[in-house]
Structure 1
Amino acid sequence: MKKIFSSLLFASGLILSAQVGINTNAPKATLDVNGDLNLRSKIAVLDETDNTLSQGNNDQLLVSRGEGYTPIWKTLRIPEYEPNKFYLIFNNSFSDKQGIRFAYYEQPNTTTSRGALFTKGADINSLQGFKKIDGLSQTISVFSTQSKAYFQFETVVQADFNSNGSTDTSIDYACGIFVDDKLVNLRQRNLKAINSLYPFLTHNQIGIVENLSKGNHTVSVACSRLASYGDIYKNFAIGTNTSTNINGFIAQSSLKVDVYEVPEVFNPIIN
């Protein structure tokens, strides 16, 4: 009987000190569960500051501190927004290497003054000759009724002009930034022939629109060839090249969008 009792104690000691595997014959931890784990009550970890078991607070996460250390409860650090202040909520950048091209016959024939034609909020369908740069048409998100959206557009413009002679040779063009196909910013410029072949210039444009409605919006960039002077039959391109002195990589377009908002939901920090 003594031998049987001693054997039972020895076997119990092995069980208490061994690794236990559920659905595995080769456990790799004190308790190794190979499958789903369903907890019906609570999780508690050792709090080394007072040697007690801690169940954490509501909405806290259990975070590992690395090998040899017990995990601890942590609060997800959501910034505590101050009322009536703007914060950067959305930002993204887009690029396009395809660009758009205009032949001489693609410029609009309009008698309306540009000052009357290009007004904030004008629908893109009412503006003749505008072509969208496809890769810059993207969706942005707004989460508050108080917002400021900033747009920074950059591209390269080129025409296949010969070197400048005695006659003024140039092209007027315009690029607009649109939100939901409504004009929010426009810039007009002129590309002029110079003393070398195939001139090009860098076009920069910054726009802003305030208090867009909450939800998703489509931002896009579109440009138009407005008028030609001198040798009017030259090709014109925006965001791509007309001639081999530059390439598509050099001429590509980019659009950066930053949306600042006054948040409507405030998340206090719980330590």
Structure 2
Amino acid sequence: MRKLVLLLSIVSGFLISAQIGIKTESPKAILDVNGDMNLRGKLSVLNTNNNTIYEGTNDQILVSQGEGYPPIWKSLRIPDYEKNKFFLIYNNSFSDKTGTTFNSTEEPANQSALTALSNLFIEGTSFSSLDTFKKIPSLSQQFEAYSAQSKVYFQFETVVQGTFDANGNPDSSIDYACGVFIDEKLANIRLRNIKASSATNTFITHNQIGMAQNLSKGIHTISVGCKRLKSYNTNATLGIGTYVHNNINSFITQSFLRVDVYEVPQVFNTIIN
């Protein structure tokens, strides 16, 4: 009996202080199993929130918290999608206070040049071919499409200002254009006119909404670019998304771009919480 107690004491001490390997002579953890393992009882881990042993609940999985931290139980949820129905997969909004300015020399020199430029305002025209378009810096952003069946809605809003004198006879005004580009290709464009008023340094709100469909799966870039087109009886400076006279400021003139991506899901990304 004394020999048995002594042997158990030695084995217990060995178990406490050593690593145990099953089908391996060089265990790399306290218990290292080189082969299949069949667990017939419960599996518990330390809950660091209250320092208790926690067995988890039905349908939870063990998730690593990284080296040096115990794993935790997490619930795994798969979003419930209906077949052939669009769902909002991504939405975000961006702002910019830098904007861009144009002087009277940054526009087509004659009407024929303006007409030729207008002929380029078609879907898919590359940004590089639209001469003297300027991008609004912080509105160039990336988003991802997970499905080939998608609809991307975007809304661009900004403030446009001209350094006009008080309006006289004949009228003073400036034509301009702003386009939304996806992967450097024109997806939407609006042409507008800002006109001098009875007050000096007129400003207006510019708003445009558009959509692109069925982009390829992967990362895409959306951006906004604008251009001065033609002046009428004025050499005023034009500001888009920025102020060109101190009757307003950068907070008022800042630009916003909102992007919403709707998809018929083809990739089901599970959610763990």
TM-score category by the smaller chain? 0.7 to 0.9
Change in CA separation of 1:88 and 1:216 when aligned onto 2, cut-off 3 Å:
same
1:64-112: per-residue Cα shift (whole Å, max 9, x none)? xxxxxxxx96632231111211111111111100000001101133153
Structure 1 residue 115: deviation in Å?
Answer: 4.9
Equivalent position amino acid for 1:137 in 2: S
For the aligned residue pairs, the C-alpha RMSD in angstroms reads: 3.2
Q: 1:257 aligns with which of 251, 256, 259?
A: 259
> How do 1:145-184 and structure 2 match up within 5 A?
145-184=148-187
> How do 1:41-52 and structure 2 match up within 5 A?
43-44=43-44
Q: 1:244 aligns with which of 246, 249, 253?
A: 246
What 5-or-longer segments of structure 2 have no aligned partner? 1-16, 18-28, 33-38, 46-53, 64-71
Identity of aligned residues (%): 55
Partner residue, 1:194:
197
Equivalent position amino acid for 1:88 in 2: L
Q: Secondary structure at the match of 2:105?
A: helix
Whether the aligned pair in 1 keeps the contact of 2:78 and 2:268 (CA below 8 Å) is: no
* C-alpha separation in 1, matches of 2:58 and 2:31: 17
Partner residue, 1:102:
102
1:15-69: per-residue Cα shift (whole Å, max 9, x none)? xxxxxxx9xxxxxxxxxxxxxx978766248xxxxxxx9676666358xxxxxxx
* C-alpha separation in 2, matches of 1:128 and 1:38: 69
Change in CA separation of 1:55 and 1:175 when aligned onto 2, cut-off 3 Å:
closer
Structure 1 residue 117: deviation in Å?
Answer: 2.1
* C-alpha separation in 2, matches of 1:220 and 1:204: 15
Q: Secondary structure at the match of 2:247?
A: coil
Change in CA separation of 1:39 and 1:187 when aligned onto 2, cut-off 3 Å:
farther
Q: Secondary structure at the match of 1:250?
A: helix
1:203-254: per-residue Cα shift (whole Å, max 9, x none)? 00101000000110110000000000012x1100000001011001100001
What 5-or-longer segments of structure 1 have no aligned partner? 1-21, 23-36, 46-52, 63-71
Change in CA separation of 1:140 and 1:39 when aligned onto 2, cut-off 3 Å:
farther
Q: Secondary structure at the match of 2:89?
A: strand
Confirm whether residue 133 of structure 1 aligns to residue 150 of structure 2.
no
Change in CA separation of 1:38 and 1:205 when aligned onto 2, cut-off 3 Å:
farther
Change in CA separation of 1:39 and 1:228 when aligned onto 2, cut-off 3 Å:
farther
Change in CA separation of 1:244 and 1:39 when aligned onto 2, cut-off 3 Å:
farther
> How do 1:20-31 and structure 2 match up within 5 A?
none
1:138-157: per-residue Cα shift (whole Å, max 9, x none)? 11111111000011000000
* C-alpha separation in 2, matches of 1:38 and 1:124: 61
- Normalized against structure 2, the TM-score is what? 0.73
* C-alpha separation in 1, matches of 2:141 and 2:260: 13
Change in CA separation of 1:193 and 1:176 when aligned onto 2, cut-off 3 Å:
same
Equivalent position amino acid for 1:139 in 2: Q
Q: 1:223 aligns with which of 223, 226, 230?
A: 226
Partner residue, 1:60:
61
Q: Secondary structure at the match of 2:115?
A: coil
* C-alpha separation in 2, matches of 1:268 and 1:201: 45
Q: Secondary structure at the match of 2:128?
A: helix
* C-alpha separation in 1, matches of 2:140 and 2:108: 23
* C-alpha separation in 2, matches of 1:38 and 1:108: 77
> How do 1:6-17 and structure 2 match up within 5 A?
none
- Normalized against structure 1, the TM-score is what? 0.73
Structure 1 residue 113: deviation in Å?
Answer: 4.7
The range that moved more, 136-145 or 108-117, is: 108-117
